[in-house]
Structure 1
């Protein structure tokens, strides 16, 4: 009898232990003692208007954001903005956790909120840099910016279109170039600003403007999509290499998850980059924001940063 009761006691003890183990929550990848991490139920991502159509923007960038969210066991929520400043403001206001920003948008946002942190810079054709350009029709009677300025000053003003004021290549860098030349483009040219990048080359080719700003990556996209014939354009000015777009996290973003996202970006294999990123984007390099110093200097030069 005693032996039977002893066996029953042992069995009950083992069953109790199994119940305790089964009811103990398992540790997930994003579990942490930090209350900031524990409070996250999703990751909110944002991206600016890189492609002419919002749905195309979503199609091109959502795969990367979903993959990043999976790395930390959280669902992704993706916002596609229709202007460059809007996406940086959303990040600054904590509406977004992570954003793919233009360099100038990053500088503007960080100027108002130094807690924003760049964690990576994208590579385009294996380089972390790109170029701002001024373009004209291939048959234009000038070949350089110097010639265009001279022609516009001596006769009928040439029509110049710069892009959205939140654009690095379409507004900031050309404005800084004119500032370095001690010229006011509003005086020298028949001047307009605020156009989308998608409209710039088309405006030149359709003779709506004589000169327009853009960036080399966008001309590649428009050419690949059959929207322009690049052979009918010529570049009359090109900037020095500019740092490519940063991936930026909001202030007070949990350090654990920030590190995980940065490692996932920097270690993205080339073959996976082909499936997760738009055409010709080949991966990322680590960034702490210091590689955007030239953008900050341009902002100071044109008087938009103090």
Structure 2
């Protein structure tokens, strides 16, 4: 059994499907855009204060595989989670979860941008160069569940230009932002996806390598990552969780330092599933476009499959429109 699965399995006995009112522990699940160790270390002080607010132990579980966190929520082994927008759609769809908050950056911004990066001395001077000469270059795409690393560039850069990135480049890898950044900086990849918030961190953490990077494309603003909890938590527990996150960092001091260490944050603001609507629309377009470009699917089958995709996202949209009931 994998370490992540083992960690979740040990928690299962203490959690009940009806909520956390009578449970002794609760688990906060985290996507790990860099490393599991760094992510859990950065969130641990916040979790310690959440323990005091809820009056129970708060466990932390992080994974670089975003599906792990969704599965943990689905199995009720994770009750609160920090996810990307794209993964949050899966959590709402299959894991009985709802968005209750959105992270706020230190500068007060409520969004970030997807990027494509190359080396400073690369012959790739623009996005047009990259798209016109794909067979010359290796490309680092984001994790398939990443909003900024995969979904946004897949739509705005590739789908809009009728390009299948898996076929367009000399070679392609799918990995997290830090691995893509390091591979480009070290000359192991010609170009890769990234985002503004990770690049801000890399500028400090890997200053020498950051100097070797050039940005050739950036997207429109993407809503900041959401926080979710399971719908079946007790109303009193939900209220305590929301009050904790909405007030965290407001008094400054150590809490502000913790937030800055997490992702250069200043706090959390109230949000709902509606922040995921635009991302769901992009996902639907991407799946439609992929189907239309797939030469292995007979034309006679494409209409039926197109309708299946539309129906699937119709169901997702209806779920996102449902207002939370306490």
- TM (normalized to structure 1)? 0.81
**Counterpart for residue 222 of structure 1:** 202
Does 2:84 match 1:102? yes
**Counterpart for residue 83 of structure 1:** 65
How many Å separate the matches in 2 of 1:141 and 1:87? 39
**Counterpart for residue 21 of structure 2:** 38
Does 2:253 match 1:274? no
Taking the TM superposition and a 5 Å limit, the aligned residue runs for 1:43-54 are 43-52=26-35, 54=36
How many Å separate the matches in 2 of 1:61 and 1:175? 30
Change beyond 3 A, Cα 1:220–1:228: farther
Does 2:211 match 1:211? no
Please say which structure displays the higher CA radius of gyration. Answer: 1
Change beyond 3 A, Cα 1:186–1:124: same
Cα RMSD for the two superposed structures: 2.0
Q: Shift of the alpha carbon at 1:193?
A: 3.1
- Structure 1 spans left out of the alignment, 5+ residues: 1-34
The ranges of structure 1 where at least 4 consecutive aligned residues each deviate by more than 4 angstroms after the TM superposition are none
Does 2:114 match 1:135? no
Q: Shift of the alpha carbon at 1:228?
A: 5.0
Q: Shift of the alpha carbon at 1:210?
A: 0.9
How many Å separate the matches in 1 of 2:185 and 2:258? 32
Change beyond 3 A, Cα 1:144–1:78: same
CA contact (8 A) 1:116 1:248 kept: yes
Per-residue CA distance 1:150-176 (angstroms, 9 max, x = gap)? 233xxx432111021111111111111
- TM (normalized to structure 2)? 0.76
CA contact (8 A) 1:118 1:288 kept: yes
SS at 2:228 equivalent: strand
CA contact (8 A) 1:43 1:76 kept: yes
More helix by share: 2
**Counterpart for residue 175 of structure 1:** 154
